[in-house]
Amino acid sequence: MLNMEYEIKDGMVMIPEADFKTLTDVLEMKQDVAAFDHAILNADEFYPSELAKELLRGDRTPAHIFRRYRGFTQNDIAAKVGISQGMLSDIERGVKEGSLGTLMALAKALDVDLDELV
């Protein structure tokens, strides 16, 4: 609770240090809540922490990780993208990069942004 003791001197307001700390803590909390609300309103999808950790590990490509997360087989996605299962396997293993058009179709099939695959 704020003490609300203050003094005005030379156009400045002086308050007890404890009140200043309380005010800055409240302001920081309000900023955090506003940032969280903004993130919630503007987020398309939230991923589980396990998926994020798997993406950060980097031992598998995002295409492979998102395909498994979405529950698709390579044949399912290859058919949606219009490529062979072998080509998708090569993309998922990092053997081939795939053309921009293929990656765009892959992102659409996996319901992710293109930048999440590259």
> Does one domain contain both 30 and 65?
no
Domain hosting 87: range is 49-116
pLDDT for 37 = 81
Provide mean pLDDT across the span 14-25.
92
> Does one domain contain both 109 and 54?
yes
**Torsion sign, CA atoms 112, 115, 116, 118:** positive
pTM for the structure as a whole: 0.63
Provide mean pLDDT across the span 42-63.
88
Does the pLDDT at position 4 exceed 70?
A: yes
> Does one domain contain both 35 and 55?
no
Given a contact cutoff of 8 angstroms between Cβ atoms, the answer to whether 105 and 80 are in contact is: yes
> Does one domain contain both 29 and 53?
no
Given a contact cutoff of 8 angstroms between Cβ atoms, the answer to whether 103 and 116 are in contact is: no
- Residue 91 CA to its chain's centroid (Å): 23
Provide mean pLDDT across the span 1-10.
79
> Does one domain contain both 75 and 27?
no
> Does one domain contain both 54 and 21?
no
How many angstroms separate the CA atoms of 116 and 118, rounded?
Answer: 6
> Does one domain contain both 56 and 81?
yes
Taking alpha carbons only, the member of 74, 103, 101, 72 closest to residue 88 is 74
> Does one domain contain both 54 and 99?
yes
> Does one domain contain both 54 and 94?
yes
CATH of the domain at 68: 1.10.260.40
